[in-house]
Structure 1
Amino acid sequence: MARPTSTARRELGVELRRLRSDRRAATVATALGWSESKLSRIETAHTAISEEDLERLLTAYGVRVEDRDRLRDLARRGRARAWWTPYRSSVPDPYDEFVALEAEATFISEWESQVVPGLLQTDEYARAVIEAGADVGDQAVAQRRLALRMARQAVLTREPPPSLLMVLDEAVLHREVGGVEVLRRQVAKLGEDSRRPGVELRIMPFAAGAHAGQGESFMVLEFPAGTRNPIVHSEGLMGGLFRVTDSEVEVYRDALADLRERSLSAELSRTVIAEREEALRVRGGLLS
């Protein structure tokens, strides 16, 4: 089954198609001594383009030398082997596209009503979540997915790291994923992560009642100015779903604003997290 290509390669393909404008693909390909299918594969991001071919194509389109750096960078990134490539066989098709976008984002905001977000999970908590998945075939698949999830967290230590807004339903602190001790250690990590620079972690209390996030958990990814528009990603039993139109993204942004407004402050949220960790510590001691 074909896999999604890198975002850089796809973006380059769109730019090259725009530069071709109303020129016929066959005419351009013939002038360069290419087959029309080669040009088509480049524009549709099925094939990476070499440095030499890119320069020839940009010359044919009349692109000034001083205006080529961004396209050269996209081509270079499109040829690079993505760090998550070894894990591709163990995840649904759209997932590597999501990983690529997450790695590029400068601001990540997420609402989660069921489990701790993947970027903040401990390895043992993540394993319990993954093994409970309806589409996990065997332990080897589960192990590769766990390795990918842990590798994704490197985005938090890059320079500069993305800014994070995480709003979690209070139920996440009570759902005993992996058992009491696994949850306690996960809650302790949440407390630590809530103090990271650039991280805003908020808890939606049970007392808040009905709110805009009742339908689904979701993430909004935003990118450096002038590079790409914000994208919404949500996951279900059959894999991830992207929403990219301005109207769709605005609905989710409004929902996040409502969720943030109704949730506890970052300071009060840390207090709730600390209290929950202590309760789990006591409970774990009683059970032992």
Structure 2
Amino acid sequence: MGQETVSAVNAEALGAELKAIRGDRTLHEVGQAARINAGDLSKIERGKKVINEQQLGRLLDYYEIQGGQREALVELITEDRINAWWTRYKQLIWPEFAGRLAVEALADLQEDCTAGTFTLLLQRPAYAREIIEHSWDAPSPDDLEVWLDIRQRRQQRLYDDPPLRLHSIFSEAALYSSAVPEILGDQLKHMLGAVREGRVVLQMVPFSAGRPGMLPMTLERLTCPGEGSPKFVFAETLNLQYVRESERDNQRFNRVINRIRTVALSPSDTFAKIEDRLKEIT
């Protein structure tokens, strides 16, 4: 088990509230009064760092926040906590990636588009190993095993109660993303099984879609449960780090996903294409 931590959504909500309360007062002024480093306070207000109960108590004392408002703010760090299983891998997981995993732990829907491979949440060990081994910054053999463990642990979200729902769009090129029949066959069988179990919705963009169906990078959006909950958009950069995009990029994501979906096959036709490809290699 990993350590418990505040959910990413609550950390952001608390940070926004604290920033609004601070008003025109400087970070240095408030930090000095509440005995919190000004740099840490800035991260707390942006939801990038979790404040502990003692620090929050001193901060609210300084702001003279009492009653119901104080209780509501304290609840944001005492309720809705999640198991931060990734802390055991802290030697490999950088802060931005940890933030992305915290969102993933709470979200109830992931929408993604992948270019040339299948979504990470469905990758079988042998298929994932081949991808990681041939990445441009391939890890050491020891680190490779750790990354495979991390990938397998993330996939558990599809089987949690409640599960993470997944709607994934991939290009037809992914059906040819391994030259080893055993590896690709195992991967395709796993995907078909996930569809049959009702865990995922898959759509394929055929080669015939041309330029409108091309995607330069992997894009993901995670939506948290509850009406009005935030949506988090991530893009995979060249160095494989996930970058949290701003809220306005949800509109850009909508434009991209809507364009891709107009040229993608239906889920049933996609299922048939995967079956056909599996028959070709077995």
Contact 1:48 1:78 (C-alpha < 8 Å) held by counterparts = no
Any gaps of 5 or more consecutive residues in structure 2? 1-5
Q: 1:129 to 1:88 in 2, by over 3 A?
A: farther
2:257 corresponds in structure 1 to 256
Structure 1 residues 108-117 or 97-106, which shifts more? 97-106
Could you say what secondary structure the match of 1:211 adopts? helix
SS of the residue corresponding to residue 149 of structure 2 reads: helix
CA contact (8 A) 2:221 2:233 kept: yes
Question: How far, CA to CA, are the matches of 1:163 and 1:78 in structure 2?
Answer: 20
Q: Does 1:142 align with 2:141?
A: no
Partner of 2:216: 215
Range with bigger deviation, 124-133 or 74-83: 74-83
**In 1, Cα distance between equivalents of 2:216 and 2:124:** 26
Q: How far 1:228 moved relative to its partner?
A: 5.3
Contact residue 232 and residue 249 of structure 1 kept, 8 A? yes
Query: Structure 1 residue 109: deviation in Å?
Result: 0.7
After TM superposition, list the pairs within 5 Å mapping 1:145-156 onto structure 2: 145-156=147-158
Aligned-residue CA RMSD in angstroms? 3.0
Distance 1:85 1:167 in 2: 30
Q: 1:124-179 CA deviation, whole Å, 9 max, x = no partner?
A: 111111111222331111111111111001211222223221111111011216x2
5 Å-filtered alignment, 1:99-138, equals: 99-138=101-140
Percent identity, please.
26
Q: Give the stretch that moved more between structures: 270-279 or 180-189.
A: 270-279
Q: How does 1:1-288 map to 2 (within 5 A)?
A: 7=8, 8-9=10-11, 11-24=13-26, 28=30, 34-35=34-35, 37-38=36-37, 41-45=40-44, 48-76=50-78, 82-91=84-93, 94-176=96-178, 179-197=180-198, 199-225=200-226, 229-242=230-243, 244-281=245-282
Match of 2:88, SS state, is helix
Distance across 2 between alignment mates of 1:14 and 1:244: 17
User: Which is further off, 259-268 or 180-189?
Assistant: 259-268
Q: Which has the larger radius of gyration?
A: 1
In structure 1, distance between residues paired with 2:63 and 2:214: 48
Q: Which residue of 2 aligns with 1:284?
A: none
CA distance in 2, matches of 1:39, 1:78: 27
CA distance in 2, matches of 1:226, 1:53: 30
Change (3 A) 1:70 1:205: farther
Bigger mean CA deviation after superposition, 213-222 or 236-245: 236-245
Q: Per-residue deviation at 1:110?
A: 0.7
Give 3-state SS (helix, strand or coil) of 1:168's partner. Answer: strand
Flag the 1:280–1:65 CA change in 2: closer, same or farther, 3 A: farther
- SS of alignment partner, residue 161 of structure 1: coil
How far apart are residue 185 of structure 1 and its match?
0.4
> Quick check: 16-25 or 136-145, which moved more?
16-25
Matched AA of 2:150: L
Contact between 1:233 and 1:240, CA under 8 Å: does it hold in 2? no
Give, as a single letter, the amino acid of the residue that structure 2 aligns with 1:268: D
**Distance (whole Å) between structure 1 residues aligned to residue 82 and residue 30 of structure 2:** 26
Q: Secondary structure at the match of 2:177?
A: coil
- Which amino acid in the other structure matches residue 181 of structure 1? E
Question: Secondary structure at the residue paired with 1:110?
Answer: strand
Say how many residue pairs are matched.
Answer: 273
